Chains A and B, each alone.
Chain A
Amino acid sequence: QKEVEQDPGPLSVPEGAIVSLNCTYSNSAFQYFMWYRQYSRKGPELLMYTYSSGNKEDGRFTAQVDKSSKYISLFIRDSQPSDSATYLCAMNQAGTALIFGKGTTLSVSS
């Protein structure tokens, strides 16, 4: 089993839809959880950063971490065509390198 599993999609939704992106992981020691957005031929940019369990909201984006289930989610409300990108989850434990998921490709149609 890989440390971090993420469905690569692609995921296609109409503009205005609520999008749910998810990752599961196997290492219960992970404490720090991030979501990155990557546009084609560009480096990833940090969207959300969460420490341990709980929810975090930033505008149209909400990140959730459920450590008991080893499951993290990113929700995008009122999705826009400009949200079309690949979304990568990443996580680590203290002082270790980030482990990335494969990324989910999202397409939002107008």
Chain B
Amino acid sequence: GAVVSQHPSWVICKSGTSVKIECRSLDFQATTMFWYRQFPKQSLMLMATSNEGSKATYEQGVEKDKFLINHASLTLSTLTVTSAHPEDSSFYICSANIRRTGQSGANVLTFGAGSRLTVL
């Protein structure tokens, strides 16, 4: 089945530094990937939609200069948290759309394992 690999699974960094999270589709090509953020006991909040070869589409309230998304190939999207601060500490999860035959409207997502970021 479709597998999305996310790395690193957890990272601790100092305030002011930048952190890069990688998301790879292992056995399929993903023209679109989605980045979510999840706070404890909260639902997944869509941050941005990453499109291969073009600029990402950010959700309202998400700072595009702070959360840099690059989707340079059909199998790799990266999220860079720039100048991280403690309030950026969260669980970041990427996902890719696995389109089901005959139901073109569905966004049935396969998720990576997530990356837990702690900013000290």
Contacts and interface: CB of A to CB of B under 8 A. Distances in A.
A93 B49 CA distance: 16
A44 B44 contact: yes
A8 B39 CA distance: 14
Given A41-B116, A100-B44, A31 B105 contact: yes
Nearest to A51: B103
Contacts of B46: 97-98
A88 B108 CA distance: 13
Interface string B52-87: 000000000000000000000000000000000000
Interface in A54-100: 88, 90, 92-98, 100
Secondary structure call for the B interface: strand
Interface residues of B, number: 26
Given A42-B113, A43-B6, A43-B93, A88 B107 contact: no
20 contacts: A8-B41, A31-B106, A32-B106, A41-B114, A42-B113, A43-B4, A43-B93, A43-B95, A43-B112, A43-B114, A44-B44, A45-B111, A51-B103, A51-B106, A92-B105, A94-B106, A95-B105, A96-B107, A97-B46, A100-B43
Given A41-B114, A44-B111, A49-B106, 11 more contacts: A6-B43, A8-B41, A31-B106, A32-B107, A36-B111, A41-B116, A42-B114, A44-B44, A88-B44, A102-B42, A102-B43
Interface of A: 6, 8, 31-32, 34, 36, 41-46, 49, 51, 88, 90, 92-98, 100-103, 105
